[in-house]
Amino acid sequence: MDEDDLYKVLGISTTATSVEIKKAYHKAALSSHPDKVSPEDREEAEIRFKVVSKAYEILSDESKRADYDRYGMDAFTSGGRGGGADMDEEEIFREFFGMGGHSHSRGYGHARPHVRRTEDAIQSLSISLRALYKGKTEKMSIKRNVVCTLCKGHGAKSGKAPKKCSKCEGRGVIEGYRSVGNGLMIPVAIKCTVCSGRGEIIKEKDKCKKCKGERVSTQSKILEIYVPPGSQEGDRIVLEGQADEEPGKETGNIVFVLEQEPNDVFSRKGSDLKATINITLVEALCGFSRGVILHLDDRVIRLTVPQGKVIRPNDVLIVPNEGMPVKGGGGPHNRGDLYLEVLIDFPKDNWFLEASEVRKVADLLSFPLRAEIQGDFVDDAEFRIAKSFENYGHDAENDGGEDEWESEGDENEGRCAQQ
C-alpha cells in the first residue's frame, strides 16, 4: 500500500467512478472494521478504519477529490482547504502511514513543498427551474477578506516587524495528543492559543492603522456565476481563488451549491419533467388538436390526438425530448421527456335540459351495459360522493358525517381528477 495514496487505500484506480469508489469503500470498511478482528488487533484496526473512512470522504466528494489530485493531502492540513476540522483525521492518517510533513504532487512524481490554502466558502444559490432549463448568469455581491494593501499583509506599521511567538516558535501550531480509544494516543498539531496560529505577535502600538494588525481588510466584489442549462439541485459551481485571502496562503474557492425553487407547473426528476393538463370529456372521446401547456422557454406545446383515439382517466402522455436539457449533452436536442398527467373535465350535474337529450347521448355512445351482479337483492343503498380518501379508516363517531356532495359553488365541480 502506497503510504500517501488514497486510491490505493481503497484499492482503486485514479479514474475510478463514484460507483466504484463506493463499492471499494464498503469492501475496505468491512474488512478493517474493529468488530471484525481479534481483540489484540483492535487498536490497529480502529486506526485503519478511520483511514479508510477518510479516504472515502475525500474521494467521494467531487471538489475534495479535485483538490487531492492537485495538492495531495496537503490540501487538507491546518490552514488548508479542510481547516482545523480535518486536522485530527489528517494527523491520524499521517501517523498510521508515517507520511511525515510532505505529500507528493500527483502526476509529477516528486515531493512538493507544503502548500496551505484558505478555507473554501460554501454557499447555497437558490435558482428557478426556468433558469436551470435555459441556463443563466447570476450576479452576486459579496464581501471577502483581502491582504491589506497598506502593510502588504505584515500587520505592522512600516519599519516595524512582528516578533516570533515564543510559545509555538513561529510555527503557529503546538503539539497535542488525541485519544483514539483503548488508551491509544495520537500526536496532533493544534492552533497556538497565544498567536492564534499566526506564529507572530505584534505590539498594539506597532499595528497597521488600516487593518489593525489583522493583516487583511474587507473588500466588496461582484461575482458572476454561470449556471449551465440542465444543471440541477445539488450541483456545485466553483469559483477558484475567490474565497478569503490570508498572507502566505493560496486562496481557496467559493463553492455555490444549487437549490431549485419550487415551480407551480412543472416538477422534475433527473432530466424528465412532469406536469398536469386538463381536457374536456368531449376531447377525451373525440380527440383534439391544440396547445396544452406553456413550456419553461415560453414555447407552447401543441398536441394532436386523432379521432378514434380515446384518452382515459389515469393516462399519461409522454412527449419525447421536451424535458430538461442534459447538462453537457452536446446540443439542444439532447433532452429528457415531458410527462403529462391528464385530468378529464366532466360536465356539471343536470347539464341536460330534456330527458330525450340524455337518451340521444346514450344512443350515440352505445356503450354496452355491464352485466348485473347475481345474488340476493336488497333495497337501493344510500351513498355520497367524497373528494378523497382522507377520512378512510376513521371511526364513524370521529367522522363528522357531513354530506360531501359537490355544490354549484365548488370550483372543482364536474371535474374527474384521476391521480
The yes-or-no verdict on residue 220 having pLDDT over 90 is yes
Instruction: Judge contact between 6 and 55, C-beta under 8 A.
Output: yes
pLDDT in tens, 106-127: 333 333 444 578 889 999 999 9
Under the banding of pLDDT at 50, 70 and 90, the label for residue 348 is confident
**Would residue 132 count as lying in a domain?**
no
Under the banding of pLDDT at 50, 70 and 90, the label for residue 376 is confident
Beta pairing, strands 136-147 & 338-345: unpaired
**Higher model confidence: residue 391 or residue 157?**
157
**Would residue 173 count as lying in a domain?**
no
**Would residue 303 count as lying in a domain?**
yes
Cα separation of 276 and 269, whole Å? 15
What number of other Cβ atoms are within 10 A of residue 40's Cβ?
7
End residue of a domain, out of 69, 97, 125:
97
**Higher model confidence: residue 173 or residue 238?**
238
pLDDT in tens, 257-301: 999 999 999 999 999 999 999 999 989 998 999 999 999 999 999
- The CATH number of residue 355's host domain is 2.60.260.20
- Res 108: pLDDT: 35
**Higher model confidence: residue 185 or residue 158?**
158
**Would residue 307 count as lying in a domain?**
yes
Number of domains in the chain: 2
Over residues 319-329, the mean pLDDT reads 88
End residue of a domain, out of 97, 116, 139:
97
Whole domain around residue 301: which residue ranges?
266-381
- Res 71: pLDDT: 72
**Higher model confidence: residue 396 or residue 175?**
175
Over residues 78-98, the mean pLDDT reads 43
- The CATH number of residue 78's host domain is 1.10.287.110
Q: Which residues, 6 or more positions from 174, have their beta carbon under 8 angstroms from its beta carbon?
A: 167, 168, 189, 190, 192, 193
Instruction: Judge contact between 133 and 297, C-beta under 8 A.
Output: yes
Residue 283, helix vs strand vs coil: helix
The yes-or-no verdict on residue 412 having pLDDT over 60 is no
**Would residue 324 count as lying in a domain?**
yes
pTM across the whole model: 0.57
